[in-house]
Structure 1
Amino acid sequence: MSTGASRPTVGAVVLTMNDRPEEFPRAMASLLAQEGIDLNAVVVGNGCEPEQVPAGVRTVTLPENVGIPEGRNVGADNVKGDHLFFFDNDAHLPDTDTLARLVAELHHDPQLAYVQPRISDPVTGETLRRWVPRLRASDPTRPGIVTVMAEGVVMVRRDAYDRAGGWPGEFFLFHEGVELAWRLWNLGCTGRYVPDIVVHHPATNPARHETFYRLNARNRVWVARRNLPRPLIPFNLATWALITLWRIRDRQALRVTLTGFREGLSSGQGPRQPMSWRTVLRLTRAGRPPVF
């Protein structure tokens, strides 16, 4: 880790469950090789004591798995830096100036709260649609302002993150990036997708188990109930429900999805902080009205 008072400071948060013995060391090596910044990194063991951690990197051990969003919150509380970099432990940075370039994007525009690189598979070069934080995601090389984020690899301005209240820890997994992005926009900030900065990540499919379908549906409802003005909530959920019914063909997956949807409607979704109508208008002008 380099030092120097004039360098931008970055706090990097990496979660581990000690289940990626090959990918995790590569991720950490690429992180510690970054140049042009002061890096302060922390590894959070989500329900475990972190293993294979490089010397000099701080660790935090959580006795139980609290989920990805809350694990990231814990990491952010235990790392220093004017910028926060959230980094999946199976990703890696192919260039040593990746973080410096992401920070530079934030410095060029004081309204920017977060910036996301293009995530691509290291073997095929594929960028999955879910990694492109906008509608019309067929061209992953098109840059621009975005209203959501792919939360596994993203740089966030620390002061904006704190003002937004961090990640929604109640979510455990899925859609936490939508909520954080919306709350950052509600502060008057924006986000940017910068596809000429590339981070490698294996292209895997998260839709592998019932937990995916249940939490994906539950949290989708929670995002709407927590963040939208009340008149928009039924429009948002109706749009999502119609798209889901059209997309999901597996009857068991659909059943579990509906279970999660009902859970989201009936259970406590956590604190409600609805965005202003001005934010709704800004999101719409940016190309993604919050009913989609």
Structure 2
Amino acid sequence: MSTGATRPTVGAVVLTMNDRPEEFPRAMASLLAQEGIDLDVVVVGNGCTPDQVPPGVRTVTLAENAGIPEGRNIGAANVTGDCLFFFDNDAILPTADALARLAAELRDDPTLAYAQPRIADPDTGVTLRRWVPRLRASDPERPGTVTVMAEGVVMIRRSAFDTAGGWPGHFFLFHEGIDLAWRLWNHGGTGRYLPGIVVHHPATNPARHAAFYRLSARNRVWLARRNLPAVLVPLNLAAWVLLTLWRIRDRAALKVSLAGFREGLHGGHGPRAPMSWRTVARLTRAGRPPVF
């Protein structure tokens, strides 16, 4: 990254399906209002031609919905910057220095691969457990090293992102942040959760997506089979099955989840690149052994 008095350079990627006519303009206004950085922004239309795009912002139109991780990969290939910022189109940056502060963390710590702000609902101020990138999520205001990420609002060092190979595009939706975080760690990087930097995002339920249970289960299998040493794969998947049986009480949802699990076992995860045992040890010391 650039050092000294040079302003941080940030490439921001925003996806749209033209289905948030009120939220999207507010998200873009807050992004373009950021100060203290050189900002390059691209809006990727996932299966559409982007509407309501502010003047001067470039767009990429995808004829079909490529999914969130692949859409972000395409966006990343169309922006410049030492840092990449991935930004949900219904989020808001409530202060004009949020990106500069995230970029400063990456500038000041060469081992840091990604920086995660605290996500909070704009109306209630509540930070959902799934937005806190660690197992012990009861205190969302506790900073520290983290081994996963809330991928909808995160800044990643560009060189680390490229070395890790970007998002797993074929996941389409769900758990792509764990996959990328594990690979960033496997290349020697770390992640940091910075609750003092707040981003607003409505507290929506991921189960609103019709394919939530199937894709979530399938991708958990793919995640393990792609990234873990062979001996840890059955341990990780057994832990997931037990947690799923305990958490999901709706029979129909459980049936779909188990079908997605079987789909993942049948293949499609792509080439295996198991993390080293050194990475397993680093993740464990950081508070999240990769069997969970």
Query: Which TM-score band (shorter chain)?
Result: over 0.9
TM-score, normalised via structure 1 length: 0.98
Give structure 1 regions of 4+ aligned residues with deviation exceeding 4 angstroms: none
SS of alignment partner, residue 7 of structure 1: coil
* Aligned counterparts, 1:172-187, within 5 A: 172-187=172-187
Q: Which residue of 2 aligns with 1:124?
A: 124
Distance 1:281 1:135 in 2: 16
Matched, 1:142 2:142: yes
- CA displacement at 1:209 relative to structure 2: 4.6
The CA deviation string for residues 29-53 of structure 1, in whole angstroms up to 9 with x for no partner, is 0000000000000000000000000
Q: Which residue of 2 aligns with 1:267?
A: 267
Q: Which residue of 2 aligns with 1:220?
A: 220
Distance 2:250 2:78 in 1: 42
Matched, 1:199 2:186: no
Distance 2:164 2:245 in 1: 33
Paired amino acid for 1:21: P
User: Number of paired residues?
Assistant: 288
- CA displacement at 1:108 relative to structure 2: 1.8
Q: Which residue of 2 aligns with 1:98?
A: 98
Identical counterparts, % of pairs: 80
- CA displacement at 1:22 relative to structure 2: 0.4
- Structure 1 unaligned regions, length at least 5: none
Q: Which residue of 2 aligns with 1:153?
A: 153
Paired amino acid for 2:101: R
Distance 1:89 1:210 in 2: 20
TM-score, normalised via structure 2 length: 0.98
- Structure 2 unaligned regions, length at least 5: none
The CA deviation string for residues 65-106 of structure 1, in whole angstroms up to 9 with x for no partner, is 000000000000000100000000000100000000000111
Q: Which residue of 1 aligns with 2:23?
A: 23
SS of alignment partner, residue 192 of structure 1: strand
- 8 Å contact kept, 1:103–1:155: yes
| Cα gap change, 1:80 to 1:209, in 2 (>3 Å) | closer
- 8 Å contact kept, 1:175–1:216: yes
Paired amino acid for 2:259: T
- CA displacement at 1:109 relative to structure 2: 1.0
- CA displacement at 1:6 relative to structure 2: 2.2
SS of alignment partner, residue 207 of structure 1: helix
- 8 Å contact kept, 1:210–1:253: no
Q: Which residue of 2 aligns with 1:62?
A: 62
- 8 Å contact kept, 1:147–1:181: yes
SS of alignment partner, residue 206 of structure 2: coil
- CA displacement at 1:207 relative to structure 2: 1.2
- CA displacement at 1:268 relative to structure 2: 1.8
- 8 Å contact kept, 1:112–1:191: yes
Paired amino acid for 1:204: T
Distance 1:183 1:40 in 2: 25
Distance 2:146 2:268 in 1: 29
Q: Which residue of 2 aligns with 1:164?
A: 164
Paired amino acid for 2:289: P
Paired amino acid for 1:93: L
Distance 2:195 2:34 in 1: 19
- CA displacement at 1:267 relative to structure 2: 2.4
* Aligned counterparts, 1:42-53, within 5 A: 42-53=42-53
- 8 Å contact kept, 1:28–1:54: yes
- 8 Å contact kept, 1:213–1:260: yes
Distance 1:157 1:286 in 2: 20
The CA deviation string for residues 240-262 of structure 1, in whole angstroms up to 9 with x for no partner, is 10000000000000000000000
**Alpha carbon RMSD of aligned pairs, Å?**
0.8
Paired amino acid for 1:179: D
- CA displacement at 1:208 relative to structure 2: 2.6
SS of alignment partner, residue 15 of structure 1: strand
- CA displacement at 1:271 relative to structure 2: 1.6
Q: Which residue of 2 aligns with 1:107?
A: 107
Matched, 1:276 2:276: yes
SS of alignment partner, residue 262 of structure 2: helix
* Aligned counterparts, 1:235-246, within 5 A: 235-246=235-246
- 8 Å contact kept, 1:98–1:197: yes
- 8 Å contact kept, 1:33–1:96: yes
